[in-house]
C-alpha cells in the first residue's frame, strides 16, 4: 500500500519505467527527426490508464510514461515519427512473481483491503490469460502499420478494465459538469 511503501521504491520504479524508457527514446529521436521516419514503442500498461490498489508507484510510473508518450507523439508526428504506447493487461510473465518488489506489510488497517489482492495476484502468476508470443506478434503487426494507433490495449482484461475506467470517468465528468464550468469568468 502507498503509505507502507518507502519513497525509495517509488524512485526506483520511476527510474526504470519512466526515466529509462525516455532515455532510450531520446537516444533515437534526433536520428528519426533527421531521416523523417521512425517508430517509438513505449510499454505502459493497463495500469497506466487504470489504477489498482497496492501498486501505486507502478501505476504512477505507467501513467507518467503514457502522458510523456502522448506529448512525444504530438511533437514527432509532423516529422513522420510514430509513437505508440502498448497497454498490456495480464500476460504470462513474471510480473507478479519474483520480479515484483513486495514491501513488508506494516499497517494492519490495510489487511482487509490488500491481503486478498496480493493473494489473487500470486495465485494467477504464470497463469494469466495473455500469451506473450501473441503479444509479440501483435507488436510486429503494429510496427508494420502505415497509421498506427496512439495506444494499443493488449488483452481482454486490459480492454475490460480500461473501458470501465473510461465509463466511470465520463460519469464523473457528467456529474460534476456544473461545478466544472462554474469557474469560468
Cα 125 to Cα 43, 60, 95, 163: the distances in Å are 20, 22, 8, 24
- Locus of grid cell 487504470: 50
The CA-CA-CA angle for residues 18, 22, 28, to 5°, reads 160
- Locus of grid cell 534526433: 30
Question: Listing from the earlier edge strand, what are the strands of the sheet with 151-154?
Answer: 38-43, 81-88, 151-154
In the chain, at which residue ranges do the beta strands (DSSP E only) sit? 38-43, 81-88, 151-154
Helix (H) or strand (E) holding 167: helix 156-175
Longest dimension (CA), the chain: 57
- Extract the C-alpha cell encoding 44: 505502459
What CA–CA distance (Å, rounded) separates 14 from 18?
A: 5
What CA–CA distance (Å, rounded) separates 69 from 82?
A: 10
Q: Which CATH number applies to 2-179? A: 3.40.50.720
Question: pLDDT truncated to tens, each residue of the chain (185 aa)?
Answer: 888 889 999 999 999 999 999 999 999 999 999 999 999 999 999 999 999 888 899 999 999 999 999 999 999 999 999 999 999 998 887 765 566 666 776 788 877 887 777 777 777 777 778 899 999 999 999 999 999 999 999 999 999 999 999 999 999 999 999 999 999 99
Where exactly are the structural domains of the chain?
Answer: 2-179
Predicted TM-score of the model (pTM): 0.87
Residue 179, SS3? helix
- Extract the C-alpha cell encoding 155: 488483452
- Size (the chain), residues: 185
pLDDT of residue 96: 59
pLDDT of residue 97: 59
Residues identified as active-site: 58
Is the distance from CB of 101 to CB of 11 less than 8 angstroms?
A: no
Amino acid at each position: 500500500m502507498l503509505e507502507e511503501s518507502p519513497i525509495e521504491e517509488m524512485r526506483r520504479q520511476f527510474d526504470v519505467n519512466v526515466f529509462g524508457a525516455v532515455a532510450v527514446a531520446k537516444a533515437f529521436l534526433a536520428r528519426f527527426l533527421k531521416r523523417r521516419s521512425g517508430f517509438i514503442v513505449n510499454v505502459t500498461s493497463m495500469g497506466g490508464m487504470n489504477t489498482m490498489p497496492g501498486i501505486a508507484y507502478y501505476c504512477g510510473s505507467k501513467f507518467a510514461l503514457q502522458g510523456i508518450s502522448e506529448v512525444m507523439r504530438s511533437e514527432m508526428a509532423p516529422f513522420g515519427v510514430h509513437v505508440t504506447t502498448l497497454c498490456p493487461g495480464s500476460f504470462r510473465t513474471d510480473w507478479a512473481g519474483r520480479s515484483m518488489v513486495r514491501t513488508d506489510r506494516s499497517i494492519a488497517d490495510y489487511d482487509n483491503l490488500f491481503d486478498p489482492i496480493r493473494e489473487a495476484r500470486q495465485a494467477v502468476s504464470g497463469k494469466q490469460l495473455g500469451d506473450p508470443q501473441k503479444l509479440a506478434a501483435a507488436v510486429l503487426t503494429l510496427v508494420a502499420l502505415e497509421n498506427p494507433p496512439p495506444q494499443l490495449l493488449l488483452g481482454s482484461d486490459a480492454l475490460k478494465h480500461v473501458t470501465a475506467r473510461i465509463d466511470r470517468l465520463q460519469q464523473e465528468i457528467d456529474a460534476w459538469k456544473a461545478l466544472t464550468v462554474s469557474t469560468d469568468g
